[in-house]
């Protein structure tokens, strides 16, 4: 059995509330951390004594030798052979443990007997067998020798060393530990919980409450078909009723930083605009730089099989550096060829495109070609063929749609087709060859329209209102194609057309040039509070046409959520509830990408990109990019054990995080034990990010 840490203690609240010195508090945290660890397992062996020994028989246990005598002499290790087998058996127990059930030293065993330093004996025999246990946990006990010289073959050890009855197991770093405190920094800047250090010691837990807790634990590799063990400690003598859900963090590799070379200059006002996959081993990022040589830059990074990035030299696209720069966009139009749209910085700003030719991580930036001499506010691109793209640009009063055809490295444009009425915030999504879908805002409505291309001519379908409410910026909504003529769309605001309806996601179908909404729903974020935003290009593939996920960003962190798509019923579903709520899981992957978890200071102006089976991020104010998490359509099965008994099995996809899973595991005692088995074929770095527990 595993040792129960701390769970039976009396209410420590009065003692804790008197702690005034922070260093004492830190020592307390470390103490709790230590005793909460899943303990080492001690080795055991079994001695069988079926007949009374013969005078001169010997057993050796570790460093100590025991000699059986009919007439006891006073030498350490000598044991008297009793008149009955039962008496001899008891003499062995008392000699090993230095106890005195009968007459004790000088009668049962030598007066000079010393307690065995390495093992202890069970207090009672089971039949004619006695279990010998190492005093020190771990594999070291498996080396303690157990040999014998008995006249009778009925007397023997089960093996020549301990460890056969029960093998000793070390207290391994690979064993996860869940202890219910967020350990503070050494300077005291980080509290126990979101409520702060000392509030934690007040009457914060209420009868019948359901609370989510960030149980920190060491991140270590877990091999396929092996277990990760966890302990949940008691809070102030309140007993857990059950574990409601778990949110495991699953990695195949930790973050790896890679420095971008000069002329990159770190600056807090830098902005990452977009990231795209070039091929299975290269990523392109478009960013604006506010320090050093200011302007709009393109950089290419290659990655090896381990996700280590190597950045090429950034190349300036234009000297314009206008904040978030929603005016800029890029797409891969052919192998090693990127088309960029942006606002050109001249005496009179105008819309422009350039072609970047790639060679490895090297970039040749070709001469810009002016689209129009009207100042560009926003633009978006979609590939509709080899060396062919559809461009939408906004000038504050209308959207203009034009075909861009690239001959060699020179872009040319077809005639413009416009949508008037001051539409804003366009996002173009390709829909096969010569067709695309645009999502935008107009007249305080979220709208979409189908674009058809014939040669270099563009025609528009009928504008469709998806939901009521202004979008607020191109970066605050996202869309992706899930099948031919089928799209999903997410939005940071909410529908204002029906008494504050919280709908902010839609499934869109297209028939010819006619768009239709088959479903409006809520993605479950905290609506319209300026704090949680769906960001353009932040919908990623898990299983094409079936499972996706998106990243919801806020000023200091981010969370994610899985999208399940039904392309037959034309619906999309999310987990219910709000993120960060103390009363429901909400279906959000809870861990922020910052601090001790993942990345520092994630905010709106950084971008993720999916490249093959890897996810990468680039940050706005630091000179590095980072490979962070595996993204795959593979599934893992987590087997959840209550103590050592299988409770349930849950299967999930894994990306950068696994989604929360409800388990409703009853505990009803002061200490909860979890074992989770990695059922995948991959070695995973694994920890429990957040666990919901219900307490009395």
Q: For residues 229 and 88, which has the higher predicted lDDT (pLDDT)?
A: 88
* Reported confidence tier of residue 524, pLDDT bands at 50, 70, 90: confident
Alpha-carbon span 145 to 514, nearest angstrom: 82
Q: What is the pLDDT of residue 683?
A: 66
Alpha-carbon span 239 to 209, nearest angstrom: 11
How do beta strands 64-69 and 78-80 pair?
parallel
Q: What is the pLDDT of residue 50?
A: 96
CATH architecture label of 13-39+172-252+633-695: Sandwich (2.60)
Alpha-carbon span 517 to 291, nearest angstrom: 45
Q: For residues 262 and 584, which has the higher predicted lDDT (pLDDT)?
A: 262
Q: What is the pLDDT of residue 109?
A: 96
DSSP label of 139: G
Helix (H, G, I), strand (E, B) or coil at 16: helix
* Reported confidence tier of residue 598, pLDDT bands at 50, 70, 90: very low
Tell me if 112 sits within 8 A of 75, measured CB to CB.
Answer: yes
* Reported confidence tier of residue 546, pLDDT bands at 50, 70, 90: confident
**What is the average per-residue pLDDT within 306-312?**
84
* Reported confidence tier of residue 93, pLDDT bands at 50, 70, 90: very high
* Reported confidence tier of residue 439, pLDDT bands at 50, 70, 90: very high
Burial of 33 (0-12, 13-18, 19+ CB in 10 A): middle
Q: What is the pLDDT of residue 687?
A: 53
Alpha-carbon span 322 to 535, nearest angstrom: 18
**What is the average per-residue pLDDT within 131-153?**
94
Alpha-carbon span 563 to 570, nearest angstrom: 13
Q: For residues 654 and 451, which has the higher predicted lDDT (pLDDT)?
A: 451
156's CB contacts (< 8 A; 6+ apart) are 47, 48, 148, 150
Q: Would residue 516 be called left, alpha or beta, if left means φ above 0 and alpha means ψ between -120 and 50 degrees?
A: beta
* Reported confidence tier of residue 182, pLDDT bands at 50, 70, 90: very low
- Going by C-alpha positions, the residue among 567, 589, 557 that lies closest to residue 654 is 589
Backbone angles phi and psi of 34, in degrees to 5: -70, -50
Burial of 535 (0-12, 13-18, 19+ CB in 10 A): buried
Question: Taking the domains of the chain in order of start, what are their residue ranges?
Answer: 13-39+172-252+633-695, 44-157, 268-422
Q: Over 50: is that where the pLDDT of 170 sits?
A: yes
Q: What is the pLDDT of residue 324?
A: 56
How do beta strands 155-157 and 44-49 pair?
antiparallel
Q: Over 70: is that where the pLDDT of 26 sits?
A: no
* Reported confidence tier of residue 259, pLDDT bands at 50, 70, 90: confident
Q: List, for residues 443-480, the tens digit of each pLDDT value.
A: 999 999 999 999 999 999 999 999 998 888 888 899 99
Percent of the chain's residues with pLDDT above 90: 45
Tell me if 428 sits within 8 A of 440, measured CB to CB.
Answer: no
The total number of residues shown for the chain amounts to: 696
Q: What is the pLDDT of residue 249?
A: 56
* Reported confidence tier of residue 575, pLDDT bands at 50, 70, 90: low
Q: Over 90: is that where the pLDDT of 410 sits?
A: yes
Q: Over 70: is that where the pLDDT of 89 sits?
A: yes
* Reported confidence tier of residue 84, pLDDT bands at 50, 70, 90: very high
Least confident of 65-69, 382-386, 562-566: 562-566
Sign of CA dihedral 207, 210, 216, 219: positive
Q: pTM for this structure?
A: 0.68
Burial of 113 (0-12, 13-18, 19+ CB in 10 A): buried
**What is the average per-residue pLDDT within 578-589?**
42
Q: What is the pLDDT of residue 290?
A: 86
Q: Over 90: is that where the pLDDT of 178 sits?
A: no
Q: What is the pLDDT of residue 25?
A: 43
Q: For residues 390 and 290, which has the higher predicted lDDT (pLDDT)?
A: 390
Q: What is the pLDDT of residue 696?
A: 57
Q: What is the pLDDT of residue 659?
A: 58
Q: Tokens 């809870």 correspond to what residue?
A: 590
Q: What is the pLDDT of residue 479?
A: 96
Q: What is the pLDDT of residue 215?
A: 39
* Reported confidence tier of residue 605, pLDDT bands at 50, 70, 90: low
Q: Over 60: is that where the pLDDT of 411 sits?
A: yes
Q: What is the pLDDT of residue 529?
A: 45
Q: Over 80: is that where the pLDDT of 198 sits?
A: no
> What rounded mean pLDDT belongs to the chain?
77
- Going by C-alpha positions, the residue among 73, 123, 125, 75 that lies closest to residue 96 is 123
Q: What is the pLDDT of residue 3?
A: 28
Alpha-carbon span 308 to 626, nearest angstrom: 8
Tell me if 176 sits within 8 A of 210, measured CB to CB.
Answer: no
Tell me if 413 sits within 8 A of 366, measured CB to CB.
Answer: no
DSSP label of 140: G
Q: Over 50: is that where the pLDDT of 185 sits?
A: no
Tell me if 355 sits within 8 A of 367, measured CB to CB.
Answer: no
Backbone angles phi and psi of 29, in degrees to 5: -60, -45
Least confident of 14-18, 26-30, 462-466: 14-18
- Report DSSP letters for 164-216, one per residue: SSB--B---TTS---BS--PPPTTS-S-SSTT-TGGGGSS---TT-EEEE--B
Q: What is the pLDDT of residue 14?
A: 34
Q: For residues 546 and 672, which has the higher predicted lDDT (pLDDT)?
A: 546
Q: Over 60: is that where the pLDDT of 665 sits?
A: yes
Q: What is the pLDDT of residue 172?
A: 59
196's CB contacts (< 8 A; 6+ apart) are none
Alpha-carbon span 370 to 160, nearest angstrom: 86
268-422 CATH fold? Methylamine Dehydrogenase; Chain H (2.130.10)
Tell me if 521 sits within 8 A of 505, measured CB to CB.
Answer: yes
Q: Over 50: is that where the pLDDT of 303 sits?
A: yes
Q: For residues 494 and 98, which has the higher predicted lDDT (pLDDT)?
A: 98
Alpha-carbon span 574 to 660, nearest angstrom: 12
Q: Over 50: is that where the pLDDT of 102 sits?
A: yes
Q: What is the pLDDT of residue 269?
A: 81
**What is the average per-residue pLDDT within 619-635?**
57
Q: For residues 337 and 176, which has the higher predicted lDDT (pLDDT)?
A: 337
Alpha-carbon span 68 to 460, nearest angstrom: 101
Sign of CA dihedral 459, 464, 470, 471: negative
Least confident of 29-33, 592-596, 607-611, 635-639: 592-596
- Going by C-alpha positions, the residue among 487, 491, 459 that lies closest to residue 472 is 491
* Reported confidence tier of residue 202, pLDDT bands at 50, 70, 90: very low
- Going by C-alpha positions, the residue among 274, 314, 319, 273 that lies closest to residue 294 is 319
Alpha-carbon span 28 to 16, nearest angstrom: 9
Q: For residues 89 and 180, which has the higher predicted lDDT (pLDDT)?
A: 89
* Reported confidence tier of residue 562, pLDDT bands at 50, 70, 90: confident
Q: What is the pLDDT of residue 531?
A: 57
* Reported confidence tier of residue 407, pLDDT bands at 50, 70, 90: very high
Alpha-carbon span 174 to 221, nearest angstrom: 6
Q: For residues 361 and 652, which has the higher predicted lDDT (pLDDT)?
A: 361
């Amino acid at each position: 059995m595993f040792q129960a840490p701390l769970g039976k203690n009396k209410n420590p609240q009065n003692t804790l509330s008197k702690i005034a010195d922070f260093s004492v508090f830190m020592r307390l945290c470390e103490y709790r951390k230590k005793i909460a660890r899943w303990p080492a397992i001690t080795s055991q062996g079994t001695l069988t004594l079926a007949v009374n020994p013969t005078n001169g028989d010997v057993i050796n246990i570790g460093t100590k030798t025991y000699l059986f005598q009919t007439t006891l002499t006073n030498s350490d290790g000598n044991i008297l052979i009793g008149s009955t087998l039962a008496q001899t058996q008891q003499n062995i127990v008392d000699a090993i443990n230095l106890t005195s059930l009968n007459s004790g030293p000088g009668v049962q065993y030598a007066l000079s007997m010393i307690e065995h330093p390495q093992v202890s004996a069970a207090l009672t025999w089971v039949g004619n067998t006695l279990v010998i246990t190492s005093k020190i946990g771990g594999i070291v006990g498996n080396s303690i020798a157990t040999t014998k010289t008995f006249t009778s073959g009925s007397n023997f050890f089960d093996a020549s060393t301990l460890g056969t009855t029960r093998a000793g197991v070390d207290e391994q770093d690979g064993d996860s530990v869940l202890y219910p405190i967020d350990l503070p920094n050494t300077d005291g800047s980080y509290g126990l919980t979101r409520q702060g250090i000392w509030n934690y010691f007040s009457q914060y837990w209420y009868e019948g409450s359901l609370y989510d807790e960030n149980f920190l634990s060491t991140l270590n590799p877990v091999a396929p078909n092996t277990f990760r063990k966890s302990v949940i400690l008691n809070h102030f003598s309140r007993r857990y009723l059950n574990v409601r859900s778990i949110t495991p963090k699953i990695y195949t590799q930790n973050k790896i930083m890679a420095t971008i070379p000069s002329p990159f200059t770190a600056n807090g006002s830098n902005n990452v605009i977009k990231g795209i996959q070039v091929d299975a081993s290269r990523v392109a990022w478009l960013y604006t730089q506010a320090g050093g040589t200011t302007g709009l830059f393109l950089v290419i990074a290659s990655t090896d099989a381990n996700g280590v990035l190597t950045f090429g030299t950034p190349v300036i696209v234009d000297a314009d550096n206008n904040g978030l720069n929603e005016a800029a966009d890029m797409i891969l139009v052919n192998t090693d060829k990127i088309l960029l749209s942006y606002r050109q910085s001249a005496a009179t700003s105008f819309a422009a495109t350039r072609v970047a030719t790639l060679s490895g991580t090297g970039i040749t930036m070709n001469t810009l070609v002016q689209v129009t001499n009207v100042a560009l506010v926003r633009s978006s691109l979609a590939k509709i063929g080899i060396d062919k793209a559809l461009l939408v640009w906004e000038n504050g009063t209308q959207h203009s749609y034009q075909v861009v055809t690239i001959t060699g490295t020179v872009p040319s444009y077809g005639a413009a087709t416009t949508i008037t009425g001051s539409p804003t915030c366009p996002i173009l999504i390709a829909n096969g060859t010569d067709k695309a879908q645009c999502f935008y805002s107009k007249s305080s409505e979220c709208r979409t329209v189908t674009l058809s291309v014939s040669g270099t001519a563009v025609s528009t379908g009928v504008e469709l209102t998806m939901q009521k409410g202004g979008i607020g910026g191109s970066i605050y909504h996202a869309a992706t194609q899930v099948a031919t003529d089928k799209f999903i769309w997410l939005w940071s605001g909410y529908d204002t057309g029906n008494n504050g309806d919280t709908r902010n996601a839609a499934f869109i179908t297209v028939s010819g040039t006619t768009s239709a909404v088959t479903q409006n729903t809520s993605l479950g974020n905290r609506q319209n509070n300026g704090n949680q935003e769906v960001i353009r290009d932040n919908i990623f593939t898990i299983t094409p046409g079936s499972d996706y996920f998106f990243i919801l960003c806020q000023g200091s962190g981010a969370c994610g959520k899985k999208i399940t798509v039904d392309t037959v019923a034309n619906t999309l579903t999310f987990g219910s509830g709000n993120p960060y709520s103390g009363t429901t899981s909400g279906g959000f992957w809870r861990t922020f990408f910052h601090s001790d978890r993942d990345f520092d200071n994630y905010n709106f102006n950084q971008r993720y990109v999916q490249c093959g089976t890897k996810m990468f991020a680039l940050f706005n104010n630091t000179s590095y990019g980072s490979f962070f998490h595996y993204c795959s359509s593979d599934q893992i099965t987590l087997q959840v054990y209550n103590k050592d008994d299988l409770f349930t099995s849950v299967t999930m996809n894994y990306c950068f995080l696994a989604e929360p899973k409800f388990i409703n595991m009853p505990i009803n005692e002061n200490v909860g034990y979890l074992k989770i088995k990695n059922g995948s074929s991959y070695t995973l770095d694994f920890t429990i990010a957040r666990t919901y527990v219900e307490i009395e």
